[in-house]
Amino acid sequence: MAKNDLLGASLWDAYSNKVTTLMNSPKHQGELFEDEVTARGNKLIVADFGAESCGDAVRLYWEIDPATDTIVNSKFKSFGCGTAIASSDVMTELCIGKTVQEAVKITNIDVEFALRDEPNTPAVPPQKMHCSVMAYDVIKKAAGLYLGVDAESFEEEIIICECARVSLQTVKEVIKLNDLKTVEQITDYTKAGGFCKSCIKPGGHEAKEYYLVDILAETRREMDEAKMKAAADASAAGGAKFEDMTLVQQIKAVDAIIDENIRQFLIMDGGNMEIIDIKKNDEYIDIYIRYLGACNGCASSSTGTLYAIESTLKEKLSKSIRVLPI
């Protein structure tokens, strides 16, 4: 059947040739049977997984050599769209020859990448990425059945965007490090929310426990509270001279000045900075910093930008300050 007979040309062209081929001619679709597998001295695992959001379902068959935990054969049956069939077929192929412990490490990203014709061209349109997520979930289900553990025990982090496999911790760290203020910026930096978009806010393709809009608001609140605490700590130092502060007080004081006077300009140019250490010697108080993003390697980082940072800190905190990039 011609592509244009099924969908409009522009939409159909969003699928790789591998996907469209496997939709109609999967290599590993079928069943494995208990008596045949047992006769070969192996163990049969049958795992089912269904996606409530779209009604698709997949059944995965593993024939496992119990002496080595190796998946010697695998089949699948898919009840869903053509993309689900193609994803399940590639997922099944990736499992064969691996141990169960190795197969659990296969992710939806691996499945989608294996479906690409060209390394830099996605195999499916963003809204269809959830089909490869289903393939990943059924692998965890099969491994859990074989090893006698809960499938969720294989997940070490809280995954916010299953399409791009982005964790909660990663999202929060990227927001803080780059002072992100919008969900669109989070997507640019991490790809979270760039596919089926379910993780952005309620009402998407499927319900989520965590949403980017809420994570952004909570993280920004944490950042604001940290700044207020730093200012309060500096004030609690009783107006002590910078030279007489403890190292922790000095770092908080420097951070507060940078946040108020410098950081916003660095971020506008795609960069940032962090304080590495503060050391006092007979003549100077040396503040060691590291440039991040676009600031790292920028010619101005050792001239104009450095002068602005050092001058501001000297004015606000101590004439003895010297800023040294590393």
Active site residues: 54, 131
Q: Identity (one letter) of the amino acid at 277?
A: D
CA distances from 268 to 180, 265, 294 (A): 11, 5, 10
3-state DSSP assignment of residue 292: strand
Q: Give the β-pairing of 285-293 and 321-325.
A: parallel
Please give the distance of CA 284 from its chain centroid, rounded to a whole number: 42
Tokens representing residue 4 in the block: 């244009």
197's tokens: 């978009």
Pull the structure tokens for residue 96.
């064969």
In sequence order, the β-bridge partners of residue 78 are 58
- Of 180, 7, 186, 164, nearest to 81 by C-alpha is 7
Query: What are φ and ψ of residue 197, in 5° steps?
Result: 70, 10
Contact 90, 22 (CB under 8 A): yes
Nearest Cα to 199, choosing from 209, 190, 189?
A: 209
| H-state helical runs in the chain | 3-6, 9-12, 17-24, 34-39, 82-95, 100-103, 108-114, 130-147, 168-178, 183-190, 212-236, 247-261, 263-268, 304-316
Locus of tokens 């929310």: 193
Q: Return d(Cα 285, Cα 269) in angstroms, integer.
A: 28
